[in-house]
Amino acid sequence: MELRTVLGDDHHGQMIRRKLAAFVVDVDAGQARLLPGIRTPSAFTGVDAVAGERTKLTMADLKTISAAMGISLSATQLAQFETYYQTLHNWNQRINLTRITGRSEVFIKHFSDALSCLVAVPDLPQTVIDVGAGPGLPGLALKIAQPHINLTLVEATGKKVNFLNHLVQKLALQNVTILHDRAETVGQDAAHRQHYQLAVARAVAPLPVLVEYLLPLLQIDGLMVAQKGSAPTPEIASAGKAIHILGGRYLKTMPITLSDLHATRNLILVQKVNPTPKKYPRRPGIPTKKPLV
């Protein structure tokens, strides 16, 4: 999915693409590297070292980038993303929430990447769970974009849970539940097991492990969306056994290209077609130590 057709070749579209062209997105590595031949930005400060142009993305740019994915953001929603960024930036000075901190990087690698889930599921169902939410992504970005959902965030790290509680209050979001717990424990909890219509996760675990975290939480016919980096085919192949055992069916992989950067992310879609056997998920730590491969 390229942005050129949405951004156009007028002055505004060219300006946004120049801003984006300074970065190649590599979310898994948590780094930004430069495209060959692209002039060097000054340590990602938002000022082009050669031309002196500002390269920081604005809320208007986020609106345009989102529109390229078929997502319409209102002024209120854009203001919420601005609050999200400012709160994340301020808290990250004190606790390690993310290695991605620059404004343009957060807009592309966090917000736009999280919103790309809506390419696979344009109309989110009522019940959504985000496992390993970290600083709230993709779950809270999806909640901002589609506020009707009942969202549950699962996070095992206490400091991140404190941030999530603060952020949800700051954004005045309703119907958000934050669980300070392990995915394996939540998956055996009757209040959450086989309860959700959609389960999402981003940069949490290899796919054979991730399906053991997510599939037990889904209703029959529920959908799992795993956000992965480039070349996920070997990971999908290794997860075939786990998907079958846990009651899932692999549907497809959707490549998502964020902007003209040629940085492709992939959404892996797995449907829940049979009940998950009661013994799954296994005790905390076991899925990682002994994945179902």
The pLDDT assigned to 13 comes to 52
Residues 109 and 20: their CA atoms lie apart, in Å, by 11
The pLDDT assigned to 121 comes to 97
Residues 88 and 248: their CA atoms lie apart, in Å, by 35
Helix (H, G, I), strand (E, B) or coil at 130: strand
Question: Does position 144 have pLDDT exceeding 80, yes or no?
Answer: yes
- Tell me if 194 sits within 8 A of 203, measured CB to CB: no
Question: Does position 245 have pLDDT exceeding 70, yes or no?
Answer: yes
49 within domain boundaries: no
The predicted-structure confidence for 164-212, as pLDDT tens digits, reads as follows: 999 999 999 999 999 999 999 999 999 999 999 999 999 899 999 999 9
35 within domain boundaries: no
259 within domain boundaries: yes
Q: What torsion, rounded to 10 degrees, do the Cα atoms 145, 151, 152, 156 define? A: 10
The answer to which of 151-160, 211-220, 225-234, 255-264 has the lowest mean pLDDT is: 255-264
The pLDDT assigned to 263 comes to 65
Report percent pLDDT > 90 for the chain.
69
DSSP structure class, residue 41: B
Question: Does position 15 have pLDDT exceeding 80, yes or no?
Answer: no
Containing structural domain, residue 215? 74-289
Helix (H, G, I), strand (E, B) or coil at 144: helix
The pLDDT assigned to 6 comes to 39
DSSP structure class, residue 31: E
The pLDDT assigned to 11 comes to 53
Helix (H, G, I), strand (E, B) or coil at 225: strand
Q: Give the number of domains in the chain.
A: 1
> Where is pLDDT greater, at 241 or 263?
241
95 within domain boundaries: yes
Per-position b or e across 209-232, b if 16+ CB within 10 A of its CB: bbbbbbbbbbbeebbbbbbbbeeb
Report percent pLDDT > 70 for the chain.
80
For 285, other C-beta atoms within 10 Å of its C-beta total 10
Q: Which CATH number do you get for residue 113?
A: 3.40.50.150
The pLDDT assigned to 14 comes to 53
37 within domain boundaries: no
* Backbone region of residue 262 per phi and psi (left: phi > 0; alpha: psi in -120 to 50; beta: other values): left
The predicted-structure confidence for 22-68, as pLDDT tens digits, reads as follows: 333 333 333 333 222 222 222 223 333 223 333 577 888 889 989 98
Give 220's contacts (C-beta < 8 A, 6+ positions apart).
Answer: 194, 272, 273, 274, 275
Q: What is the average per-residue pLDDT within 83-91?
A: 96
Q: Does the CA dihedral 158-164-170-173 come out positive or negative? A: negative
The confidence band for 258, taking pLDDT boundaries of 50, 70 and 90, is: confident
The mean predicted confidence, pLDDT, of the chain is 84
> Where is pLDDT greater, at 69 or 284?
284
Question: Does position 146 have pLDDT exceeding 50, yes or no?
Answer: yes
pTM, two decimals, is 0.82
The answer to which of 126-130, 134-138, 170-174, 227-231 has the lowest mean pLDDT is: 227-231
- Tell me if 265 sits within 8 A of 138, measured CB to CB: no
227 within domain boundaries: yes
The pLDDT assigned to 45 comes to 31
Place of tokens 């964020």: 258
203 within domain boundaries: yes
The pLDDT assigned to 288 comes to 97
The confidence band for 18, taking pLDDT boundaries of 50, 70 and 90, is: low
243 within domain boundaries: yes
Q: Which long-range contacts (CB under 8 A, 24 or more apart) does 79-85 make?
A: 80/144, 80/171, 81/111, 81/141, 81/144, 83/170, 83/171, 84/111, 84/136, 84/140, 84/141, 84/144, 84/167, 84/171, 85/111
